[in-house]
Amino acid sequence: MNDSTDQILEPDLAICDPHHHLFEHPTFGSYLLPDLYADIAIGHNIKATVFVDSHAFYSRRLPPEMASIGEVEFAAGMAAIADSQHYGTTRICAGIVGFADLQQGARVEELLEAQIVAGGGRFSGIRQMAGYDPAVPVDHRVETPPNLYLTSAFREGFASLDKLGLSFDAWVFHTQIDEVTSLARAFPDTPLVLNHMASPLNVGPYAGKHNEVFADWHSGIRRLAEHPNTYVKLGGLGMTTFRGPAPDTSIDGLANTWRPFIETAIEAFGPSRAMFESNYPVDRQTCSYVTIWNVFKRIAANYNPDEKRMLFYDTARKFYRIDI
């Protein structure tokens, strides 16, 4: 893994990191506000960040169906600490993405309204993960029913997002992209962002089948991008579902591996609907926070200044309605 000795590429390039977590996790370890600020302090120009749910710090004083309010309260608290500039000037958790089980149907509105209040003006929307493939080892997928985004109960709850002015973060495997496309088609007024480029798989029966996986992923991405309410987060390729054994974790090595997927996604969605994400600290399985942004900058080296500004800053800021 590369570390803080990496030279910062394009240190003045403004970045809004639209996907990170803060938690104490049994697999990924502890990563809290001082840890993120320490990574930022090394040199990339991170102006603001978006906190994304990780089922952490749920409230035990609330009923289970309302407990995720606790994570929004936690993130809002971290944002308030960030605004004190005690650790640095970056606006951490300027946007907050929480969790709500949309399978509750219309009843989920009570939770969403409470999260909006708890977010203190920073709550942007929710994420409900649906990464499922029966052929994928259980330690690489989430506990979710198959075809979650296609169920009537889920869609009844999803209808509440547009009503309340909220966005949706979708996470699936590359084999499920068409489920996200169906959702986007059914709700054309709800902004929807695909996390981690739909996590192209390199585990289980997909291990080592790069060309086949890329072809399937590519066709699905192009179908999804046809819908103007859809966006994509460029990242998440440091997760074990993709990284494979003994990857080359140098800047050039990662750039060469990730480039075909990232450039294809940018081509499909355009810079105005694509945003680089750190997915930290999950992606530190592969590289440091410093390295991951260097890799993205290396991949984006040939884009013009306006395109870079969208990819690294403006698209994320506008999607999550962050006023910087």
Alpha carbons 303 and 91: distance in angstroms, whole number: 26
Alpha carbons 52 and 59: distance in angstroms, whole number: 17
Neighbouring residues of 180: CB distance < 8 A, sequence distance ≥ 6:
149, 170, 172, 192, 194, 198, 224, 230
| Beta strands, E only, 185-300 | 192-194, 230-234, 274-276
Domain 14-319, CATH homologous superfamily name and number: Metal-dependent hydrolases (3.20.20.140)
Paired with 274 in beta bridges are 232
How many other CB atoms sit within 10 Å of the CB of residue 27? Answer: 8
Alpha carbons 41 and 35: distance in angstroms, whole number: 10
- Residue-level pLDDT at 138: 63
pTM, whole model, 2 decimals? 0.95
Alpha carbons 248 and 260: distance in angstroms, whole number: 16
Tens of pLDDT, residue by residue over 131-148, are 998 877 766 667 788 899
**Residue 119's pLDDT band (boundaries 50, 70, 90)?**
very high
Tens of pLDDT, residue by residue over 159-199, are 999 999 999 999 999 999 999 999 999 999 999 999 999 99
